[in-house]
Structure 1
Amino acid sequence: MHSQTLIDAYDTLLLDLDGVVYLGRDAVPGAPEALRQAQERGVRLAYVTNNASRTPGAIAQHLSALGAPATPDDVVTSAQAAARLVAERVEPGAAVLVVGGMGLRGALRAHGLRPVSTAIEEPVAVVQGIAPDLSYGLLAEGTLAVRRGALFVAANADSTMPTGRGELPGNGAMTRVIATATGVEPVVAGKPEPPLHRESMLRTAARRPLVVGDRLDTDVEGAVNAGVDSLLVLTGVAGPLDLLTADPRHRPTYVGAGLTALHEPYVSPRRSAEGWRCGEWLATWTADRGLSLEGQGDPVEGLRAACAAVWEGVGDAKADEDAVKPALASSPFADLSSR
């Protein structure tokens, strides 16, 4: 028997990869062990990534090498969501110009579509995803095809992507080339838009999914859009200041230091006469003084209390950074994020 933990309420984890399971080529400390433990408990693992550059097989191989349980069928990519989106709008066997890598090509073939590389082949759609060798030539071909009326689909709109060296330009930044040159905005398949979540639900048949991610603008917003719970882990992009100043669509259900939070009893903030309490922490918010925090103990519990106080205080608005920074600067969770 085990005590009630966060993971007990869910049958499937919809896991982001970069910043959650690994950073670059290396595992986030404790992540593979937490995932093995979840699988042993009978929870389905689905690795849901906005990265469209690699195939599910390559991603699964990487995860397995890090010690995380994974097969290609456990991987759901924005390339697969983009391919389904295109396949539902065009004729079988249609030519689709790929501005990206092998992940996109494989996903399109799996849906009976024909990947091409030049506009002269009259593609009915252009699909763009990040690739390390993305060239001007491909961007130019994509621009010509979109100008001629081809459907423009982006695997994702992430402006940056986390790596071991820091945040680098993501697919969202690269799609601006074609969008700017043509005046056509892409249809986005990846998080936070619905197609990738739909793909995940179709593939997993999840009834009680928990979205786990490190970004507010993709993972958490995608969960909010889909009406499911989310866990924001502090091992990737988002940090305490991002959480404290988040608007409603970017506020996660839970906050944890990392994936190990799945296997711990979750201490939730509770409203009291004095303010919001979580563990040994007390957080209050007033319009004139902003955020105040006092207490000791687990810094993540302090962050949860602070978020509850700020979010209640500002309602549907977004807290001003200057109103939270003084309390944040003197708090033990100021540097919780790995970035």
Structure 2
Amino acid sequence: MSDELVGDYDLVIFDLDGVVYLIDKPIPGAAEAVERLRGAGTAVAYATNNASRRAADVADLLNGMGVSADKGEVLNSAGAAAAVLAQRFPAGSPVLVVGAEALRAEVRDAGLTPVSTLEEKPVAVVQGYGPEVGWQILAEAALSVRAGAVWVATNTDRTLPSPRGPLPGNGSLVAVLRTALDREPDVVVGKPEPGLFTTAASLSGAQRPLAVGDRMDTDIQGAVGAGMDSLLVLTGVSGPAELLAAPPERRPTYVSADLSGLFRPADEARLPLRAEEAGGWRLDGSKLSGSGDPVTALRLLCGVTWDGVHPEAIEAASPAAADLLKKWGF
């Protein structure tokens, strides 16, 4: 695999939503990519901000989709948040849980006591995504934080990818409390914090890990913060317009349409591509002409916008370029 992008790495850390699956539907090629890595002896891990499933449940879900996984390879923000609370508070301490049953179970397994009302005097509020979260538990959480409880968020993803389009994520629910309390959470555990990435690397003993994600504000920023190379795949939340406008802390090492990019030469995915011509495309200043693979055009344009040209200043100088820029929202 030395001629492939992934050949330079000894661990691939996959995000899940938008990379491997969309809610409960596998993304085409994901299972094949994982098996190809395993066949080559490359370690695999899964790091997800979604706190609605436990690690064993995530592994079962993946295996049911044909994506091989062991629960020890899964790191999620629910388990990480429970571990943070267990380090801070004595065993048995009451913790108000906003989220799915999986988060309550993680809190319970960490030796703490899940509660759901202010009257139970919680020492902390832990907030994670749950499709059944409603006003009543959010109200109890707001009252508890005002009474002095520590507020821990598993993650602040604004949206969740789905086959129907982006849906409200935990960050949207955190925003409800942020508005009501006029303050930020005391601790945010998941990506873009680097902890899930560094833990995955530590557990596998990897010296050269690669993070693969679909969100620049969580997956890619988290990888940058952890000092890891990263691959952005365009199967989930972040798209070309966001990549072109990315600040340095959110810029991936590579970009690919999907996971097949792992097995192509690194130079076909590396960012930015600073050249006047490539793959049928041509750049004349900020004018794009020609036609070819959209990802090649995107890499060329990153070389311009990352050097200071505003993405809105990009112009099309061919019909194919005009169609592509329109598809990207320009």
TM-score w.r.t. length of structure 2:
0.90
Contact 1:234 1:336 in 2 (8 A): no
CA distance in 2, matches of 1:116, 1:62: 28
Q: Secondary structure at the match of 1:133?
A: coil
TM-score w.r.t. length of structure 1:
0.88
Matched residue, 2:69? 70
Q: What is the percentage of aligned positions where both structures have the same residue?
A: 46
Matched residue, 1:48? 47
One-letter amino acid of the counterpart of residue 298, structure 2: L
Contact 1:6 1:262 in 2 (8 A): yes
CA distance in 2, matches of 1:335, 1:105: 45
One-letter amino acid of the counterpart of residue 67, structure 1: G
Count the aligned residue pairs.
324
Q: Secondary structure at the match of 1:88?
A: helix
Structure 2 CA distance for partners of 1:195 and 1:328, relative to 1, 3 Å: farther
Matched residue, 1:250? 250
Is residue 2:312 matched to residue 1:299? no
Matched residue, 2:108? 109
One-letter amino acid of the counterpart of residue 120, structure 2: E
More divergent stretch after superposition (263-272 vs 87-96): 263-272
One-letter amino acid of the counterpart of residue 213, structure 2: G
Counterparts of residues 111-130 of structure 1 (less than 5 Å): 111-130=110-129
Q: Secondary structure at the match of 1:52?
A: coil
Structure 2 CA distance for partners of 1:213 and 1:132, relative to 1, 3 Å: same
Give the gaps of 5 or more residues in structure 2.
none
Is residue 2:159 matched to residue 1:164? no
One-letter amino acid of the counterpart of residue 64, structure 1: N
Structure 2 CA distance for partners of 1:310 and 1:276, relative to 1, 3 Å: farther
Contact 2:291 2:320 in 1 (8 A): no
One-letter amino acid of the counterpart of residue 55, structure 2: P
Matched residue, 1:230? 230
Q: 1:144: Cα distance to partner?
A: 1.6
Contact 2:11 2:201 in 1 (8 A): no
Q: 1:271: Cα distance to partner?
A: 7.0
More divergent stretch after superposition (322-331 vs 127-136): 322-331
Q: Secondary structure at the match of 2:166?
A: strand
Is residue 2:306 matched to residue 1:322? no
CA distance in 2, matches of 1:270, 1:171: 32
Q: Secondary structure at the match of 2:243?
A: helix
Contact 1:123 1:150 in 2 (8 A): yes
More divergent stretch after superposition (88-97 vs 211-220): 88-97
Q: Deviations over 1:75-118 (max 9, x none)?
A: 11111221222222222332211101122122223322222222
Matched residue, 2:193? 193
More divergent stretch after superposition (210-219 vs 291-300): 291-300
Matched residue, 2:219? 219
Matched residue, 2:36? 37
Counterparts of residues 77-116 of structure 1 (less than 5 Å): 77-116=76-115
CA distance in 1, matches of 2:17, 2:272: 32
One-letter amino acid of the counterpart of residue 139, structure 2: A
Matched residue, 1:210? 210
Q: 1:334: Cα distance to partner?
A: 4.7
More divergent stretch after superposition (112-121 vs 46-55): 112-121
Structure 2 CA distance for partners of 1:30 and 1:309, relative to 1, 3 Å: same
One-letter amino acid of the counterpart of residue 106, structure 1: A
Contact 2:255 2:271 in 1 (8 A): no
Structure 2 CA distance for partners of 1:10 and 1:177, relative to 1, 3 Å: same
Q: 1:229: Cα distance to partner?
A: 0.6
Matched residue, 1:241? 241
Q: Secondary structure at the match of 2:212?
A: strand
One-letter amino acid of the counterpart of residue 151, structure 1: V
Give the gaps of 5 or more residues in structure 1.
286-290
More divergent stretch after superposition (259-268 vs 275-284): 275-284
Q: 1:146: Cα distance to partner?
A: 0.7
Q: 1:200: Cα distance to partner?
A: 3.0
Is residue 2:13 matched to residue 1:23? no
Q: Deviations over 1:9-47 (max 9, x none)?
A: 111111111111112221111111111111111112111
Q: 1:320: Cα distance to partner?
A: 2.9
Structure 2 CA distance for partners of 1:135 and 1:204, relative to 1, 3 Å: farther
Q: Deviations over 1:115-151 (max 9, x none)?
A: 2222222111100011011122211111121111111
More divergent stretch after superposition (298-307 vs 145-154): 298-307
Q: 1:284: Cα distance to partner?
A: 4.9
CA RMSD of aligned residues (A): 2.4
Contact 2:116 2:140 in 1 (8 A): yes
CA distance in 2, matches of 1:213, 1:248: 17
CA distance in 2, matches of 1:281, 1:301: 8
1:308 corresponds, among 303, 312, 315, to: 303
Q: 1:335: Cα distance to partner?
A: 8.0
Structure 2 CA distance for partners of 1:131 and 1:292, relative to 1, 3 Å: same
